[in-house]
Structure 1
C-alpha cells in the first residue's frame, strides 16, 4: 500500500496553455509520503513497489481511499492503482 498526498492541480501548462477545471478533476497529481514493502506474489515472494517515497504520480479520481488530515488530502491505494509517475528530466 502507498500513502499519497494530493498535489495542487496545475492550471497552466509550461507552454502557457490554460487547462479548464473539468480536465483538472479527472486525474489527480500526488506525491508518495509513505510506502509499504510490497505485495506477495503467487509463490510467496515479495514484489517491490513501482514507486518510492517522494515520487510524484498520477492517480485516477476513483482510485484509493481518501482521507483528510490537517486540511491536506491523502489517498491510500495499491501500486496497481497508480497510472504513472513523473520523471524529472532536468
Structure 2
C-alpha cells in the first residue's frame, strides 16, 4: 500500500534503538521507551502560504530526524508501525 501525506505532513518510521544488555538484565518490550529517532518514508507537497504559493518542505524522504515522544499520530501500514505528523512537529534533522 502506498501512502502520500497531504500538505505539510510527513510519514515516519521509528528507528529501533540497538538492544543492550547490562548486567544480565533484559528489559521487556512493554517497559521500554519509544525511540525518538525516525526515518522519513514519505512527504507531502508542502504548505500553502497566505499568497497561495506552495512552500516546499525542508525535509525529504530518507532523512533521519528527531521527534517528540508523544508527537504525531501512530498508524499501522502492512503490519509496520508508522507515525504521521506535520513538519513543524519535527525537532531536528540528524546528519551523519
TM-score band, normalised by shorter chain: 0.7 to 0.9
**Residues 5-84 of structure 1 aligned to structure 2 (within 5 Å):** 5-10=13-18, 25=33, 28-84=36-92
**1:29–1:59: 8 Å Cα contact kept in structure 2?**
yes
- Matches of 1:37 and 1:50, distance apart in 2: 11
Which consecutive segments of 4 or more residues in structure 1 shift more than 6 A?
A: none
- Matches of 1:59 and 1:25, distance apart in 2: 13
Q: How many residues end up aligned between the 2 structures?
A: 77
Instruction: List runs of 5+ in structure 1 lacking aligned partners.
Output: 13-23
- Structure of higher CA gyration radius: 2
Question: TM-score of the superposition, structure 1-length normalised?
Answer: 0.74
Structure 1 residue 70: deviation in Å? 3.6
- Matches of 1:26 and 1:6, distance apart in 2: 8
- Report the aligned-residue RMSD: 1.9
